[in-house]
């Protein structure tokens, strides 16, 4: 039997209307959908009623189906001759481990295609109407992960990340927010640097929290955010505050310094 095909599909940041047309078409035509926990129910509703659904959802500290097993599963399913969709939140190649799955499919000789999705940084920033780059505020943007495997200490180049002219977007950093703030401040990024935290961005459950880098840890603890969080760190975060989306006195002081 000829092998089927695997599609590594990005489901976008949460809002089902931000799914690409190509992704929606492929999801609807799939024989099997292997999906993560961050894929919203509204997108799973696009899956055919006769398609098999396999939940391999992972979260920090809880990986019921290890990545190696997911890789093997995709190969096994494809060898049955069916069309397989590996559905991931955001973009499959930005902190989505899609490349690991692609390598395994390559080694097994399984045809596959990558269908990109809007990554959380872009989706959350757009929802908050914050540019990731902006003339006079940020000449570039960097994406980093705030979580390491097995809950190890973060192994980041803090000196290069502490650049006041670059927007830093941190994925999956909620558990390590103390280390992130102290690492950046310790390597020269001013404590008054604005930070926007977006939880469950682009969905009806979206929450936004504003802080300075120095007050980030305490502010986040008080907010008790529940769900995936993206941190946007840098001068551009002050733009959201300038639109009167926060009454926080600390942020008002931050705006004065940034301006």
**Set 36, 88, 91, 163: catalytic member:** 36
Active site residue 5: no
Which candidate, 180, 186, 187, places its Cα nearest to that of 233?
Answer: 180
Q: What whole-number distance in Å separates Cα of residue 124 and Cα of residue 104?
A: 31
Which candidate, 130, 235, 149, 152, places its Cα nearest to that of 192?
Answer: 235
Active site residue 58: yes
**Set 5, 58, 248, 255: catalytic member:** 58
Active site residue 172: yes
Supply 122's token pair: 């872009």
Task: Give me the phi and psi of 193, to 5 degrees please.
Answer: -55, 130
Helix or strand (DSSP H, E) at 11: none
Pairing of strands 32-35, 52-55: parallel
Which candidate, 202, 220, 203, places its Cα nearest to that of 211?
Answer: 220
**Set 88, 91, 163, 172: catalytic member:** 172
Just list the catalytic residues: 36, 58, 172
């Amino acid at each position: 039997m000829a092998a089927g095909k695997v599609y590594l599909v990005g489901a976008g940041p949460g809002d089902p209307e931000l799914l690409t047309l190509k992704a929606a078409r492929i999801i609807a035509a799939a024989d099997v959908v292997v999906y993560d926990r961050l894929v919203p129910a509204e997108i799973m509703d696009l899956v055919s009623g006769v398609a098999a659904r396999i939940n391999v959802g992972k979260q920090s500290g809880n990986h019921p189906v290890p990545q190696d097993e997911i890789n093997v599963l995709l190969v096994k399913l494809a060898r049955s001759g069916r069309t397989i969709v590996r559905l991931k939140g955001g973009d499959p190649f930005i902190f989505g481990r899609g490349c690991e799955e692609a390598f395994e499919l390559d080694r097994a000789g399984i045809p596959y295609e990558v269908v990109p999705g809007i990554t959380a940084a872009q989706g959350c920033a757009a929802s908050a109407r914050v540019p990731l780059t902006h003339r006079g505020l940020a000449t570039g943007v960097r994406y980093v992960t705030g979580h390491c495997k097995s809950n190890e200490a973060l192994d980041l180049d803090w000196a290069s990340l502490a650049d006041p002219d670059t927007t830093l977007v941190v994925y999956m950093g909620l558990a390590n927010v103390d280390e992130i703030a102290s690492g950046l401040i310790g390597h020269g990024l001013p404590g008054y640097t604005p930070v926007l935290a977006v939880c469950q961005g682009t969905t009806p459950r979206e929450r936004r929290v504003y802080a300075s880098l120095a007050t980030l840890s305490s502010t986040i603890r008080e907010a008790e955010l529940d769900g995936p969080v993206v941190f946007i760190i840098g001068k551009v975060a002050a733009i959201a505050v300038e639109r009167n989306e926060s009454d926080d006195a600390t942020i008002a002081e931050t705006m004065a310094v940034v301006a």
